[in-house]
Amino acid sequence: MLRKALHIALIAMFVFAVFSISTTDVQAQGDTERLKLDVSAGMRALDLIRQLRAENLIPGGGSQELTLPRTVINVRNQGFWYFPIGRGTALRDYVLHFEMRAQELPSDTNGCGMAFRIVNDNDFSYVMLTKDRRIILIQNDRGDTIVEFDEVIDDLEGIDATDYELDRTQLHLVTIVAVGDELTLFLNGIEITRETTARSVRGRFATMLFNEEGNRSNTECRYSNVFAWSLQ
């Protein structure tokens, strides 16, 4: 079980598991330079990889090692829940991309996301979007948090999130570029953050959700077009 996330020690359980309205408008604006990728629902992995190569974010070569057309996770119990995907596929440096819709989030702090570079209880990373508009990117390394990005999207300079919502009406496209000690996060094609204190480790993948303490209502996250392109 993974026991650390979002600054709270909660019991996390591993269980095996196992859409369309519109994608949201999150737009770059102002003087802050944010890389913008041309992404769309159902896009091919190679179309994304070519853009990242053109921006010199990733090297040439590699291959698609994880493919998951769609999956749904659904729980009523509180806490963090992780649902392994990829049948044990473990990668070190790669591009991870997925489309995500929050079908049911009854509490403001509830969220949907993806865990990656999972090694054990103390060694894992994850990205999560929450209903109260937070974007979170974490890496725990042997028990220590070495990457800790946790921001409200409205507070990010250079981003227009006027029409952004995490609910069933919007499909969000999330891209993680994990290369060496850098983690770069894109949301709907807009660069959100580039963290340079990460550690490159070979690990597994899991969809994840958080259900707020005391909430017994159904929490459901839906994923589609999940893929990971190995860079090694």
The answer to whether residues 167 and 131 touch, using CB atoms and an 8 Å cutoff, is: yes
Query: What would the mean pLDDT of 215-219 be, rounded to a whole number?
Result: 85
Q: Where are the domains of the chain?
A: 4-230
Query: What would the mean pLDDT of 149-177 be, rounded to a whole number?
Result: 96
Does the domain spanning 4-230 belong to CATH 3.30.350.10? no
Determine the pLDDT at residue 32.
58
Tokens of 97: 């991309």
Determine the pLDDT at residue 26.
53
pTM of the predicted model, to two decimals? Answer: 0.87
Q: What is the CA radius of gyration of the chain?
A: 16
pLDDT tens-digit readout, 14-44:
333 333 334 444 554 444 589 999 999 999 9
Q: How far is 103 from 108, CA to CA, in rounded Å? A: 14
